[in-house]
Structure 1
């Protein structure tokens, strides 16, 4: 069990650092689109979780440590639906309701489609 805990911790650190770097890069290049980093990591995370889930279904011999480290740790640290909620609220509070609505719909629908696409990729 300690191996799984260590794998999740290492994966979480890596995912969190990638999310932090993405946020900094988006803020430096497109500060008016601060929500772009959250959208990007959520859709990417959904694509990856769909792909990994499908891969782990067809390759059950992959060690639990690796599976937990990638899905619970890395993707748990990378994806940020709590930040999604805050970004949406900030858009609404700043009077940008159409952008907030589009952002919410794109995040949810894009995430679902990306998860499906990731799962389909494992079946190719």
Structure 2
């Protein structure tokens, strides 16, 4: 039995070539790319065997690499979201699952973020841990907001100040 026959038999889809299977493949491929990119960044700036930029404060290294990865990933998610909504409205429906859920979901990391905070707490650095938690959320949210504002502004200027997406149904 072929792989797609198993997928069909398992009830994942009514047709082996459905958009649902295509989206799953897009997310998986994008996730692999994003995870490899995150791994590469974490190896470029290691601290011992851990994924940290080299900067020490007390017993534990501050997890700058994880913070950078999450902030950049959130900025790129903002760029992607507003670009697909305002500029590339006719793009393939697989672009968002591939780039958003897949690549950027694989690149950013909530689990490492929380484990980094746990390590800081365990090493007797509760203030640094709380600061790291707050700084990551603040930087990530700021990244999304900055990206949305920048891309929306660039699109507005490019169109001569008019937003052609206004007034469309579903916008």
TM-score by length of structure 1 reads 0.91
Larger Rg, first or second structure (1 or 2): 2
TM-align CA RMSD: 1.6
Inter-partner Cα distance in structure 2 for 1:102 and 1:115: 20
Residue 90 in 1 paired to residue 109 in 2?
no
Which whole-Å CA distance do the structure 2 matches of 1:99 and 1:34 have between them? 8
**Per-residue CA distance 1:8-60 (angstroms, 9 max, x = gap):** 11110110001111111221562744612211110001101111111111122
CA distance in 2: counterparts of 1:111 and 1:35, whole angstroms = 15
* Shift >3 Å, 4+ stretches: 31-34
Larger helix percent: 1
Hey, what does 1:63 align to over in structure 2? 92
Whether 2:42 is the aligned partner of 1:23: answer yes
Task: Describe the SS at the equivalent of 2:46.
Answer: helix
Q: Distance in 1 between matches of 2:93 and 2:24?
A: 11
Structure 2: segments with no counterpart, 5+ residues: 1-18, 48-52, 154-171
The residue number in structure 1 matching 2:29 is: 10
Task: List gaps (5 residues or longer) in structure 1.
Answer: none
Q: Comparing 6-15 with 22-31, which one deviates more in the overlay? A: 22-31
